[in-house]
Amino acid sequence: MHRHRFEAKHHKRLDSAYRRRILPPSTTLKRFGLKRGMVFADIGSGSGYFLIPGARIVGKDAAAYAVDASREMLALLAGKRPPSNVVSVHTKDGYKFKIEKRSIDFVIASAILHENEPVRFLKEIRRIMKPNAKLLIIDWRKESMRYGPPMEERLTQPEVKTFLAKSGLKTVKSVVLNSRYYAVVAKKG
């Protein structure tokens, strides 16, 4: 089972001028440590908001995995002609990624954790992480605002920390990014 997932028909919301201003994708990825040569995975890559800049940062000699449970989203991404190092991965149920265990240096999961059973989802992310890999979670603050998922579906930063610990992951940083989102960084515990 999973919670309500974002629908591809709303994809334009993911790439608004406002979102680009408050959450600039390339700057955000670099700020949290994505570098040239790292093997990168974007879980729930959607229309490629983080995936495409991430693929450029790691460069053509490192893979950038675009993982999504929605074939429509993956098709949208393909339509954007992403860089040649992008590898598209469809996951049927969202809890099993066709990616080798311990193969990824940097994983991002943006605006997606609240859509899933957190521990089941995080354990699968942990499986694909190299021993020293970094996981960057970005999600909606649990505060009343006009946009975003319903309040009861949102997770607080302490809740995310607890779910990470239950999944064998250790929180190394937890910060508020802007009026909408926070970031939690984790490593293998």
Ligand X SMILES: C[S@@+](CC[C@H](N)C(=O)[O-])C[C@H]1O[C@@H](n2cnc3c(N)ncnc32)[C@H](O)[C@@H]1O
Contact of 14 with 47, CB cutoff 8 Å: yes
Is the Cβ of residue 68 or residue 105 nearer to ligand X in the bound state?
A: 68
Sequence-separated (6 or more) residues with CB below 8 Å from residue 24: none
Taking CA atoms, 108 is separated from 5, 134, 148, 172, in Å, by: 17, 9, 19, 15
Taking CA atoms, 3 is separated from 37, 44, 118, 137, 154, in Å, by: 34, 14, 10, 17, 11
Is the Cβ of residue 81 or residue 132 nearer to ligand X in the bound state?
A: 81
Interacting residues toward ligand X by CB under 6 A: 5-6, 14, 43-46, 49-50, 67-70, 73, 91, 94, 110-112, 115-116, 121
Is the Cβ of residue 6 or residue 32 nearer to ligand X in the bound state?
A: 6
Is the Cβ of residue 7 or residue 143 nearer to ligand X in the bound state?
A: 7
